[in-house]
Each structure stands twice: as structure tokens, then as C-alpha cells.
Structure 1
Amino acid sequence: MEPAPGLALVVVSPRVAPGLMSRSAWQVVEAASVRLCADADEPLAVAVTDADLPIQVYAAGSPALLARHLVERAADDNVVWLGSADGDEGLSDAIADEVSRLNDPPPVEVVVGSWDVPGARLLDVVAVMDRLRSPGGCPWDAEQTHESLLPYLEEEAGEYAEAVRSGDRAHMAEELGDVLLQVAFHARVAEDHPGQPFDIDDVAGGLVDKLVRRHPHVFADVEVSTPEEVAANWQKIKEEEKARRPGAH
């Protein structure tokens, strides 16, 4: 049975592998008679091609031109637009404008193929920091060391403490972002160490292990009933960890 004419805009999170779309999104893509994208090298377009589904490239000069082309084709075909990683800024509004001028417009829907998970924007932090430190990035960022960054870490921690005391929630969020920048910056600098490198995943993995280890009342079978007992357990486990470190007496 030939699919009914219409337009579906398939969008996915750029932080999730594009092939990991929901089944419903894949069904929309598979059923389409026409699949269009701006660039065959876009991650979603590559995933669809890898699934042996043919695509067509349409590189319009503006959102308005692209919207008109999509709506016109959707009058006769079941068209899917494979969203770009940059979100195709302005396209949704342009399609709305195009549809509103027609007496009998084709049906249009937005199909969300994947969503960000909590913490997904942290991947953007890592990617931006890597770009700044890599060749062709920022000369100032590229020359920083752990030692040169220490004053900024101390300053940002102090400014966050001041924001907490002020009670200004927006200021707190901003200053905590600056503290996060220092964590990401130091981890990226550490990647470049010639003999003992570590990266943000090592930092995060160590933190996860520590949190699990120091919360046996949550992740194991230790029983506690008060915050004071939790604090005492934490201190005991911390002292045991220190005693096991190389060089400890």
C-alpha cells in the first residue's frame, strides 16, 4: 500500500548515536517514499543509508527555500526530512509559514527519534573543551597547564560560594558552570601529559567508584538510620582508603 502524502521532520539528539532511534521513528523513515537530507555525510543520513534505505540530498540556500521544496513534494509523496546535527535552524518556522499560505496543505509532523538523557550536555562541554585545546583552537587555552589554571580554580570556587550565600539561583548556576569549566579544563590538560595521562572519563569513573564505595548503605547491605551514622561510615571508609594508598604507613 502506497503511503499517504505528507511531510515528517525526523529529529534526533546529536548526543545519541543516530542509529539508535526509536522504533516508531524508524518505521516513519522506512515507510517514506522520499527521504531527503542536506548532506549525505550528516550522522542521521549515514545511519539511514547504512540501513539500505535510499536518500536524496537537497541543499537549499535558505530555510524558506527548503521549506517550500519540502511542502511542495509532500503534496504528492510521503516525504521524510532527515534532520541535520545543527538542528536546521529556522526550518520549522519556515514550514509553518509555507503551510499557512496554502488552502489545502499536506499534513506535517515532527518525529523525535531520540532524546537527550540527563547529563547529556556534559558531552558538549567535553567536545568544546577538546576543540579549544586541539590544533586550530584557542592559543591561550592550548598553552595552559595545571599550575597556570590553579588561580582560576580557586577564584571560581570562591565566587560560587559567594553566589550560594547570596541566594541568587541564576548566579549560582552561572558560577557552578565556571567551576565545571575548570574540571573539564584540567581533565583535558591531563590528556596531554607525556607519561601519566588521564581524561575526563577517568575522573568521572573514579568519582562513581568512590560514591558507590562510600555509600554501602545504598549500594550494599550496610544498615544506617541517621545522617550521623552515614558521616561516620564515610570517614571510616575514607581512612581505610588512605591506608591502602601506595606509600601509606
Structure 2
Amino acid sequence: MPGSVILLVTSPRLPAGVLTAEAWDVVRAHPVYTGSDSPQVDALRAAGATVTVVDPAVEVLLDALAEHGTIVWLAAPDGDEELARSLGLRLAREPGLAALELLYGSWDPPGARVLDAVTVMDRLMHPETGDAWKRAQTHESLAPFLLEEAYELYDAIRDADPEAVREELGDVLLQVVLHARLAEEAADTSDRFTLDDVAGDLVAKLIRRNPHVFADTQVGGIDDIIANWEQIKQAEKSRGSAVDGVALSQPALALTAKLLHRVARAGLTVDFTPADPLGAALFALVVEADRTGRDAEAALRAAALAYMDAVRRDE
């Protein structure tokens, strides 16, 4: 009976040596060939597997197959697709030579491509061969870009364009990864943190603020979930005012609406009229929009966009 060429594919995003039990049985039972040395090769050899680095060519594999009967080809991180295709075509023409088997020794975990983003950012931030512009940035200099990318994402969501949403989410993620990388190299050690710290804080917050999922808190619906979230958040922040923590850099209409929402949620009644007549008129419009369940920021934005279309028509 013909032997087998087992194409062993592993995830380059997992630590070397992290393989399934089936993969370990295979590499211990049969000689392993690969195109270059790598941490994965070192891990296999350390575990007792026989690994030989050879020229990644079909004839080389067939010669090894003739000698051993069954062999394992440890694919490179890119999967050695061209070699696999050439080998598959050769064995399809001469089926008596060997059987071709594909074995996944490990898979990318969900979110693995974020590790690629970290690797690329490491390259971009290299002090000698990286990107000088990125290395020159600070949290402060990048802040306008973060706002711009967030607005572009908002536009893509408003336009119901999934491809644009995907792209703009990537641009927002770039800001997160770059800010974290800058913090990792902060001159003051007390200002340093990493992307893992950011993700770790997020995980802890999500678990802490969702006790109906991660603990035994009972909820009757979405209103209870929101109430629990706000109660936990209030306890965490120890804020002295209902309006503490509101993002002051957001557009004025949205800021006003957020303040009104916070005050209403706190059950407060505040007697207030802005001193500036224009400010008073705008404030009153936001109050009325909030009372009727409308979004003043979105309404003015829609009017501005309609005006822009009118300008183009006239032009």
C-alpha cells in the first residue's frame, strides 16, 4: 500500500509546541521534514521528534517518502500553499505514489489577528527601522486622529455600509494599539502600560459590570441590566455629582443631551437658563428634543448634510 504525506499545519500565533494530541502522536511516530528552522522545529526536537530541514520541493518529499513510507511535512507559517498544490497535483496524476493528508496541529484562537496587529506595530515602532512619524507621536498629538476615525466610523454606520464599518473599526483599533504601544515606552515608568493591560482592564470591567452573566444576580429585563450597570459604575467611580465623568470634548448638542439625561436619571430638577440668548435658544431646543425622545445632534447633522446636498445641486 502507498504511504502518506501528512501536511501538518499549525498556527503561527500560538506558542511553539502547542499542538493537539493527535499531532503529537503523528510527529513522534513519523519523520518530520520542513523548509526552515523555527521555534516550532525546536519544540518538536526538544520533545523527541526527528525533524529534518530540506529544500521544500516535491521531489525531495517523494524521495523521503520512498525511504520512510510515511512522512510529515511541517508547513511554514504561510501554510506552504504552493508546495501543497504542486504535491497534490502530482499525487492526483500518480495516485499509487502516496496519499496526501492534511492535519491541523493547532488553530488560530478567536482574536488571533490582533496579535498580528501587535507584531506589525512592534515593527513600525522599531527605533532604527520603524516609522519615524509614529515614533514621534504622543497621546496628545494623536487625540485629533482618534476623534476623526471615530467620526468616520459613525458615518459608515449611518450609511449602513458593512465594508466601510469593518475598515473604520480597523482604523479605530489602530489608534488603540498605537496609544498602548506609546504608553509601553513612556519615559516615566508610572505612566507605562501595555495593550495587555488595556485588555485586562476591559475584561475585568465587563465581568464586574455584568453580574447577571458572570455571577448570580437576577434581572427582569434590559432595564434591570442598565440599572445594575449604572449602580456598579457609580460605586466604582465614587462620583460626587450626577454629571461627573461626562465627556466634555463631545459636540455641544450631544454634551447638553448627555447632561440632561444624567440629571433626569438622578431625579433632579434644576432651574437653569443660559445667560447668552443664543445659548439659551439652543439649550431650549435640546431640552425639547430630549423631552420628545429625539436626538438633537443627529437632527442637526441630518440638516447639515441635507444643506450640503442642496449646495451641490445648486452648483
User: TM-score, with normalisation over the residues of structure 2?
Assistant: 0.71
The letter of the residue matching 2:119 is A
Deviates more, 1:156-165 or 1:231-240: 231-240
Partner of 2:61: 70
Identity across the alignment (%):
43
- The correspondence of residues 72-111 of structure 1 with structure 2, limited to 5 A, is 72-77=63-68, 78-102=70-94, 104-111=96-103
Residue 238 (structure 2) pairs with residue 238 (structure 1): no
CA-to-partner distance for each residue in 1:16-37, whole Å, 9 max, x for gaps? 12312111111111111x3211
Q: Secondary structure at the match of 1:174?
A: helix
CA deviation after TM superposition for structure 1 residue 244, in Å: 7.7
Equivalent residues of 1:44, 1:83 under 8 A apart:
no
Gaps of 5+ in 2: 245-315
- Give the residue type in structure 2 aligned to 1:84: A
Match in the other structure for 2:162? 169
Paired with 1:235 and 1:206, the residues of 2 have a C-alpha distance of: 18
Select the structure with the greater relative contact order (CA < 8 A; seq sep ≥ 6).
1
Residue 7 (str. 1) matches residue 33 (str. 2)? no
Distance 2:170 2:157 in 1: 13
Q: What amino acid is aligned across from residue 168 of structure 1 in structure 2?
A: D
Residues of 2 paired with 1:72 and 1:16: CA distance? 31
Structure 1 residue runs of 4 or more that deviate by more than 4 Å after TM superposition: none
SS of the residue 2:17 aligns to = helix
Q: 1:152-171 deviations in whole A, cap 9, x for unaligned?
A: 11111111111111111111
Q: Residue 140 of structure 1 aligns to which amino acid in structure 2?
A: W
Quote the offset at 1:4 in angstroms.
6.8
In the alignment, what sits opposite 1:159?
152
Residue 210 (structure 2) pairs with residue 215 (structure 1): yes
Question: Structure 1 residue 37 and structure 2 residue 34: aligned?
Answer: yes
**Which of 50-59 and 189-198 deviates more?**
50-59
Say which of 118, 131, 137 aligns to 1:138: 131
In the TM superposition, what whole-angstrom CA distance separates every residue of 1:156-207 from its partner, at most 9, and x where no partner exists?
1111111111111111111111111111111111101122200001101111
What is the root-mean-square deviation of aligned Cα atoms in Å?
2.0
1:76 Cα shift? Answer: 4.1
- Evaluate the alpha carbon distance shift between residue 138 and residue 46 of structure 1 in structure 2; reply closer, same or farther with a 3 A threshold: same
**Post-superposition offset of 1:103:** 5.4
In the other structure, the counterpart of 2:52 is: 56
Secondary structure of residue in 1 paired with 2:98: coil
Amino acid at match of 1:44: Q
* TM-score normalized by the length of structure 1: 0.88
Task: Return closer, same or farther for 1:26/1:244 CA change in 2, 3 Å cut-off.
Answer: farther
Q: Which residue of 1 aligns with 2:304?
A: none
Specify the code of the residue in structure 2 equivalent to 1:83: A
Long gaps (5+) in structure 1: 61-65
- TM-superposed CA distance for 1:71, in Å, is 2.8
Q: 2:221 maps to which residue?
A: 226
Q: Distance in 2 between matches of 1:98 and 1:18?
A: 31
What CA distance in whole angstroms lies between the structure 2 residues aligned with 1:98 and 1:45?
27
